[in-house]
Amino acid sequence: MDNYILAIETSCDETAAAIIKNGTEIISNVVSSQIDSHKRFGGVVPEIASRHHVEQVTIVLEEALNQANMEPKDLTAVAVTEGPGLVGALLIGINAAKAFAFVHGLPLIGTHHIAGHIYANNLVQPMEFPLLALVVSGGHTELVLMREHGIFEVIGETRDDAAGEAYDKVARVLNMPYPGGPHIDRLAHEATEAVPFPRVWLEDGSYDFSFSGLKSAVINYKHNMDQRGEEIIPEKVAKGFQDSVVEVLTAKTVRAAREFHVKQVIAAGGVSANKGLRAALENAFKAEGIPFYVPPLKLCTDNAAMIGAAAYEMYQSGIRGDLAMNGRPGMELKSWK
């Protein structure tokens, strides 16, 4: 019998619902973005995010069912992002999922947001193991090794800022609106020259990352130029910053792919929408002869389809949540097998 999972995602600033068939096929995928409400504050305001989720969650849920032309009785289970994320925002999705599951007598599955980002790839082509995932988003920068479905080993992570966070902060220095990543990406591509910023490699052999030093280098550069009464060229700064981020992310991903003899490399999370990063990874893995994939833009940034894709594998492993489920803002990525 076919499996249909209704998934809900509200961990940050997108209210999203989707229906996924057998873990790999998108039947409907609805995302309501709040970015415009947060823009004027230069970042996501948790209280505003929660209020938007309250207003939107039942609307996106109904829309997901309508677009799929399905009724609750056609569903196999309800999945929801349990963490990590903003606690108030998570709770809105969790309570909606609990109520829906309870009323319709459906099993409930609590999913990790990053597992979702990784599993977005399973909606595009089958995941092959061992698999290496570079997860780069507003809250995360991680290299995750998967030897099979449901088994995650975090082999490297950021020691300070996430890559997306660094993008957003540097964009602020350049007077670009939130979220800054796409603006820096665009400026970097318009540049012909780059300000030489440092590459942070950390200790020999480490797969960890650090972006706060790079961010400070950009801020210092701006201050020094201001003090000298010179204008900065935003394109040049953006390219200098992006070149540093992309070079370090790519080099460490390639080294890990070689060390663990992976069969597939995937990029996930909002920053994987970055054109410079995509091109660098594509070229590097073409040279390595290892298949490399990034999901289409819509599945890179926050969405519920990816939560449904991960939840399907959890469902197959017999994982079920219950009505005591709570939001877990600092939830770790743990294996479910």
Site for ligand KG4 in 108-137 (CB under 6 A): 137
| Closer of 98 and 117 to ligand KG4 (Cβ) | 117
* Phi, psi for residue 146 in degrees, rounded to 5: -120, 120
Helix (H) or strand (E) holding 55: helix 46-68
What's the token pair of residue 148? 């099979």
Q: Is 117 annotated as a binding residue?
A: yes
Q: Is 113 annotated as a binding residue?
A: yes
Binding string to ligand KG4 for residues 247 to 286, with x set by CB under 6 A, is what?
----------------------xxx-xx------------
CB of 52 to ligand KG4, least distance (A): 15
Contact status: 302 vs Zn ion (CB under 5 A): yes
Q: Is 243 annotated as a binding residue?
A: no
Contact status: 137 vs Zn ion (CB under 5 A): yes
What is d(CA 260, CA 249) in angstroms, rounded to the nearest whole number?
17
Binding at 180: pick from ligand KG4, Zn ion, none (beta carbon under 5-8 Å per type): ligand KG4
Count Cβ neighbours within 10 Å for each residue of 304-327 and write b for 16 or more, e otherwise: bbbbbbbbbbbbeeebebeeebeb
The half-sphere exposure of 328 on its side-chain side, counting CA atoms within 13 A, is 15
Site for ligand KG4 in 11-40 (CB under 6 A): 12
What is d(CA 261, CA 254) in angstroms, rounded to the nearest whole number?
10
Which residue among 9, 142, 168, 313 contacts ligand KG4 (CB under 6 A)? 168
CB of 35 to ligand KG4, least distance (A): 10
What's the token pair of residue 182? 């796409």
- How many of the chain's residues bind ligand KG4 (CB under 6 A)? 19
CB of 78 to ligand KG4, least distance (A): 21
The span of 24-32, 35-43, 174-182, 197-205 binding ligand KG4 (CB under 6 A) equals 174-182
Q: Is 210 annotated as a binding residue?
A: no
What is d(CA 305, CA 321) in angstroms, rounded to the nearest whole number?
19
Q: Is 270 annotated as a binding residue?
A: no
| Closer of 28 and 274 to ligand KG4 (Cβ) | 274
Kindly report whether the peptide bond that precedes residue 126 is cis, defined as omega within 30 degrees of 0. Answer: no
Binding at 119: pick from Zn ion, ligand KG4, none (beta carbon under 5-8 Å per type): none
Where would I find the beta strands (DSSP E) of the chain?
Answer: 4-9, 14-21, 25-33, 77-83, 108-112, 131-136, 141-146, 153-157, 264-268, 292-293
| Closer of 12 and 78 to ligand KG4 (Cβ) | 12
Which residue among 116, 156, 180, 321 contacts ligand KG4 (CB under 6 A)? 180
The span of 175-183, 256-264, 281-289, 309-317 binding ligand KG4 (CB under 6 A) equals 175-183
* Residue closest to 63 by CA, chosen among 15, 120, 13, 1: 15
| Closer of 114 and 131 to ligand KG4 (Cβ) | 114
Binding at 321: pick from Zn ion, ligand KG4, none (beta carbon under 5-8 Å per type): none
Kindly report whether the peptide bond that precedes residue 107 is cis, defined as omega within 30 degrees of 0. Answer: no
Tell me the residue length of the chain: 337
Q: Is 83 annotated as a binding residue?
A: no
**Residue whose entry in the numeric block shows the structure tokens 């349990």:** 82
Measured CA distances, 44 to 116, 175, 181, 235 (Å): 21, 17, 14, 25
Binding at 301: pick from Zn ion, ligand KG4, none (beta carbon under 5-8 Å per type): ligand KG4
Contact status: 301 vs ligand KG4 (CB under 6 A): yes
Positive or negative, the Cα torsion across 245, 184, 271, 178?
A: positive
Site for ligand KG4, rule CB under 6 A: 12, 137-139, 164, 167-168, 179-182, 185, 269-271, 273-274, 301-302
Residues that bind Zn ion (CB under 5 A): 137, 302
